[in-house]
Amino acid sequence: MNKPLLSGLAVAALMAAGSAQAEQTFISIGTGGVTGVYYPAGGAICRLANRDRAEHGIRCGVESTGGSIFNINALRSGELEFGVAQSDWQFHAYNGTSRFEDDGPFEELRAVFSLHPEPFTVVARADAGITSFEDLAGKRVNIGNPGSGQRGTMEVVMEVMGWDMDTFSVVSELQAGEQAQALCDNNIDAMVYTVGHPSGAIQEATTACDTVLVNVDNDAVRALVEERDYYRMATIPGGMYRGTDEDVTTFGVGATFVTSANVPEEVVYQVTRAIFENLDTFRGLHPALGTLDPAEMVADGLSAPLHEGAARYFSEAGLMD
């Protein structure tokens, strides 16, 4: 009795899938290392966006990349449609400052919404004699791969500290996902990672061997935070990772979701809608996303203009006037 009805539905579903396929739009999100938060956050965005694929025809995929600076450059060249990027690098790319001075302002850069906070996180081997950021001088330090956000942010901090590459006994440029193992293999004394918490990479670095999270709190860093809007002092709660029971004080930025003005309004609208209409699900897809607040997501750390597709959704949803 039920059989003809089921096959009728199946045919309808196939027809719907077929017509959506004819006008499919592929979008890729540039993220970071697989043990960071950008990669699972990008995966969560795609998962929610893809749920309504039959309606809007958008097929979202995630790419693991070198991080913020790589993602912004790939948006500029049109290689990627979306990316996750630190709020400091969003600012500099749009304004053509700091690492983006040579390329000039990326005027088509557009903000979509902001994500989780990212404290500048320093993890050191417990046997390295490092108890504060200043102790990194003379040590073997991974300063981050050149496409990563932490590399750029580390360079800014080094400058205000009056440091250069010779400050360290060894400097390495490993990818984010390679740092924990290098630390535990005793190839480096410390790693830096601007990342949301908890993150897989920091969990790996703190459980695979004896390590400690280090405070990054001194006059130079406090002056930097005072001077620049996109920096904040930040705390990594004690007890979150093995070996570090006290709160850790550092500074931080925010992770932001960005795109280019060349990406169609409807595409950005649909992706934004998929996240904000399913915010509870989104928050549950990674612990670092758990405290996202819509009022902050539409405003914090967004220095490039909002993409018109995001702006349309936010005003329709009453999140913005």
Residue 57 or 152: which CB sits closer to ligand GLU?
152
For residue 257, state whether it binds ligand GLU (rule: CB under 6 A). Answer: no
* Interface with ligand GLU, residue 150, by CB under 6 A: yes
Q: How far is the C-alpha of 211 from the C-alpha of 98, rounded, in Å?
A: 32
Asked if residue 252 binds ligand GLU (CB under 6 A), the reply is no
Among 42, 43, 149, 309, binds ligand GLU (CB under 6 A): 149
**Buried b or exposed e, range 31-54, using 16+ CB within 10 angstroms:** bbbebbbbbbbbbbbbbbbeebbe
Q: Do the Cβ atoms of 177 and 142 come closer than 8 Å?
A: no
Q: Residue 38 or residue 282: which is nearer to ligand GLU going by CB?
A: 38
32 lies in the site for ligand GLU, by CB under 6 A? yes
- Regarding 30 and contact with ligand GLU (CB under 6 A), the answer is no
The reply to whether 309 sits near ligand GLU by the rule CB under 6 A is no
Cβ closer to ligand GLU: 38 or 251? 38
Burial category of 129 from C-beta neighbours within 10 Å (exposed 0-12, middle 13-18, buried 19 and up): exposed
**Residue (of 122, 126, 127, 128) closest to 169 by Cα position:** 128
* 36 part of the interface to ligand GLU, by CB under 6 A: yes
How many residues touch ligand GLU under the rule CB under 6 A: the total is 16
**291 and 250 Cβ atoms separated by less than 8 Å:** no
Instruction: Give yes or no for residue 33 binding ligand GLU (CB under 6 A).
Output: yes
Nearest to 286 by CA among 59, 48, 27: 48
User: Which of residues 121, 148, 244, 260 is near ligand GLU by CB under 6 A?
Assistant: 148
> Closest separation between CB of residue 176 and ligand GLU, Å?
6
Pairing of strands 25-30, 58-63: parallel
Other beta carbons within 10 angstroms of residue 99's beta carbon come to: 21
Say how far apart CA 40 and CA 111 lie, in whole Å: 20
93 lies in the binding site for ligand GLU (CB under 6 A): no
Closest distance of CB 25 from ligand GLU, Å: 25
Q: Should residue 86 be labelled a site residue for ligand GLU when binding is judged by CB under 6 A?
A: yes
Residues of this chain that bind ligand GLU (CB under 6 A): 32-33, 36-38, 67-68, 86, 118, 148-150, 176, 194-196
